[in-house]
Each structure stands twice: as structure tokens, then as C-alpha cells.
Amino acid sequence: MAVRANPHLIEELEKYGAQDVVKCYHCGNCSATCPFSGGTYLFPRKSMRYLQMGLESRLRATLEPWLCYYCGECSDQCPREAEPGETMMSMRRWLTSRYDFTGISALFYRSWRAELIAIVVVALLTGIGLTIFGLTYGDLNVYDGEGAFLPAAAIHRFDWAMAIVLVILLGINCVRMWWFTVGGDRGVRVPLREYLKLAFLVPLHFFTQKRFRQCNEKRPWAVHLVLMFSYLTMLILIMFFLHYLQDGPAINWVAHGFGYAAALGLVGTAIYAVHGRIKKTETHYRHSHETDWIFLGLLALVSATGIIQHVLHRTGQPAAANVLYVAHMMGVVPMLVLEVPFSKWSHMAYRPLAMYLSALREKAVAVESAPADKRAAVAQTA
């Protein structure tokens, strides 16, 4: 069955940040230098070829971009400056938009203005909603306890409601990713047993990012791990232990210890990334898509407002703390509602899932070829 070529595919990918794809003449240096390339997955060269040939359906079914961590060596080695690393990055953006059933992702990646407007709108709605809520049920001068402007319990419920919506959105997208790459591929049949046996790969990769560490350059992995753990710590604190942080005046030092460490990690990595992207210190910082800046901007905004509102609260200025808290939520909500399912943050789900799915595909290949081997063995003995 022939595959239809889409001659416009490169143009499409360019909207997602691809550059100079056409320059590639398939020398293979990129694949030779990449520590992950080989065996079943021959990237970035193979993906570059799919792109040049306009094989949209093949590209949609590939997991390869998710197996790349953009250490940048391929781009450094490329004799034609075809930027394979950046192309893989743009393919991840494109794939994210394919997995997303709402179409919002495609809109955001292709138009930073749309994304910014959406963020502002959600931020304003959040701000207005929370202000009305606070003024109706509490007092601006009370930060915690009875009559608090934004009581921890209410925020907690709000957070959980938001989390459920997010999980549903991201879950649907993950199922689509599975369908595009494994489920819908007729040539691939994975037994249920393997699904269960390999399920541990998702949390394993999520928490350790061990594959990232295999890149020759270790620093990006370390930075990323600090960011990821800081973010995760903060998420757990907020989802389960919000009242320890918000309620006073007694200070729960365990929760606060974790909170401060996480805040430090987030601010530190944000500064590191912004500095890197401005100065272009590393290959993967050389090209910055608008979504990268929006992501970093939100991260910096949320971190800063979070820290300031906390300081104000603990230094006894509840009114100012409440205002900053609203501002903080105006950053948090768009970040979670828009960035996690539709933009850059979604990769926290897709990456570990891709490890799992690629392992499944390899198993499926093994299962398929087994009977043939058996036939060959029978033929030999006969």
C-alpha cells in the first residue's frame, strides 16, 4: 500500500520551529554521533528523511523524536548545518499538536500570539474569579484561618478540580499517542502480558530520566532533573500539603524545607535557562521557539510571585500577600491549564510514555519474527 506524500510537510513543520531541513543530504553523521541511534531507531536521520519525503503518516507514527533529549551533538556535527537537533525539537512540537484532539496545541505552536492571548484571558478570568470569591467569602486583610481571603481548603479543592480536568485532557492525548504509534498500527501486535510487564517503565523514566543521562553531555540532564524534581516537589506540596504552607502562624519546617528547596530549584533552573537562551551557551539553547520563552516567562512569574507572597505572608502583611497570591494563581492556572496539556509541559507525560511504547513495539517485533525463526529452524532440520 502506497503512502501519500505531502509536499507541504516541511513548510508545516517550519511553523513549529524546524529550520534548514532541506539542507540535509543524508550523510548520516548525526545518527553516527547520537548515542541513542542504532538498532530499531535510526534517528535523527530517518525522521529527517520522512520529513523531506513528506510522509506525514509515517512521521505521525514515529516515537523517535521523544527518544531524543536534544543534547545538540547532531547539530554540532552536521556538515550542512541542517540543525537535526532543532528539527527533532520541532517534530516533538508537531507531534504534541497531533496527539492533542482539541486543536488548541496546533494553534498555540503556530501562533505565539494566540497562546499569549489565551494565557492572558485565563489569567484575567482566574484573577477576577478569585478576587470576587475572596471578597465575597473572606477578607483581603486575612491570609489564613477564619475568614481568609483565599482559604487553603478552597484552593485545595480548586486545585484538585483542575487536576482532574488536566488528567482527563492529557489522558485522552496519551491514548491518541498510543493509537498513532502502537495501537493503530496493523503490523504491530502487542500481547496484553507485555503491556503489564513493561508498565513499570513509565514511572521509572518519569522519575529517573535515566535515558537522558546517557547523552554524552551530562549537564542538561542534571539541570533538567533539578527542574523536574523541584516542580514535582512543589506539586506534591500544593496538592497534598497546601495548608502546611499557607496556615500560620506556626511553621511546619519539614514542609517549608521542601518548599524552599523546590523554590530554589525552580528559580535557579529558570535563571539558568533564560541566561542560556539569551547567551546561546549550549547547542540546545541556540534556537528558541516562542513557546520556549512563554514557558520560561510563566515559570519565572509563578516562582517569583509564589516566593514574594510567601515572604509577605510570613512577614505579616496579609493584604499584600493576598494580592500577590492572586497574581501567583494568575500564573499557575494558565500554566497548568494551557501549558500542561497543550504545550511544552505535556512532554512530561509523552516522554516516559514514549519509552514504554517503544519498548512495546520492540517486543511486538520480536513476537512477530519468532514464528519465522521457528519456520527457518524447521526447514533446516528437514
Partner 1 sequence: MKDDCRIGFYICNCGTNIAKVVDAEQVCERIAGLPGVACARAYKYMCSNPGQEMITRDIRERGLNRVVVAACSPRMHEPTFRKALEAAGLNPYLLEMANIREQCSWVHDDPRAATAKACDLAHAAVRRVRYHQPLEKVEASYAPATLVLGGGIAGLTVAVELAEASQPVYLVEREGKLGGNVGRADLTAPYLDSARDILAEKIARAEASPKLDILLRSELVELRGFVGNFRATVRTTGGPTRDLAVGAVVVCTGYQEFDATRIERLGYGRFPDVITSFELERRLRMGRLETDDGRIPRYVSIVHCVGSRNPRYHPYCSRVCCMTALKYGHEIKSALPAAMVTDLYVDMLSFGKGGEDFYRRTSELKTMFLMYEKGDPPRVRAAEPGDDCGLLVQVNERLSGEVIDVPADLVVLMVGMEARADGGDVARTVGISQDRQGWFIESHPKLAPVSTATEGVYIAGCCQSPKDIPDSVAQARAAAAMVLAHVAQGKIEVDARFAEIDPDRCSGCRMCNELCPYTAITFDPDERRSSVQSALCKACGTCVAACPSGAITARHFTDKQIFEQIEGVLAWSSSRSS
The residue from 15, 58, 213, 286 that contacts partner 1 (CB under 8 A) is: 58
Give the residue carrying C-alpha cell 517503565. Answer: 201
Quick check: 280 binds partner 1 (CB under 8 A)? Answer: no
**Identity (one letter) of the amino acid at 208?**
T
Quick check: 153 binds partner 1 (CB under 8 A)? Answer: no
Question: Which of the ranges 51-59, 264-272, 273-281, 324-332 carries the binding residues for partner 1, by CB under 8 A?
Answer: 51-59
The nearest distance, CB 79 to partner 1, in angstroms, is 12
**CB 5, CB 54: distance < 8 Å:** yes
**CB 77, CB 29: distance < 8 Å:** yes
148-167 burial string, b = 16+ CB within 10 Å, else e?
A: bbbbbeebbebbeeeeeebe
Between the CA of residue 195 and those of 63, 199, 202, 265, 357, what are the distances in Å?
17, 6, 11, 35, 9
Measured from the CB atom, is 24 or 338 closer to partner 1? 24
The nearest distance, CB 10 to partner 1, in angstroms, is 6
The residue from 16, 50, 345, 350 that contacts partner 1 (CB under 8 A) is: 50
Please tell me the distance from the alpha carbon of residue 12 to that of residue 9, in angstroms, as a whole number. Answer: 5
The nearest distance, CB 47 to partner 1, in angstroms, is 11
Please tell me the distance from the alpha carbon of residue 256 to that of residue 132, in angstroms, as a whole number. Answer: 29
Quick check: 7 binds partner 1 (CB under 8 A)? Answer: yes
- Residue numbers 76-135 binding partner 1 by CB under 8 A: 80
Measured from the CB atom, is 3 or 199 closer to partner 1? 3
Quick check: 249 binds partner 1 (CB under 8 A)? Answer: no
The nearest distance, CB 82 to partner 1, in angstroms, is 10
At 194, give phi and psi (nearest 5°): -70, -35
**CB 201, CB 355: distance < 8 Å:** yes
Q: Which three cell numbers stand for residue 273?
A: 535557562
Quick check: 66 binds partner 1 (CB under 8 A)? Answer: no
Residues of this chain that bind partner 1 (CB under 8 A): 1-5, 7-8, 10-11, 22-23, 25-26, 46, 49-50, 52-55, 58, 80
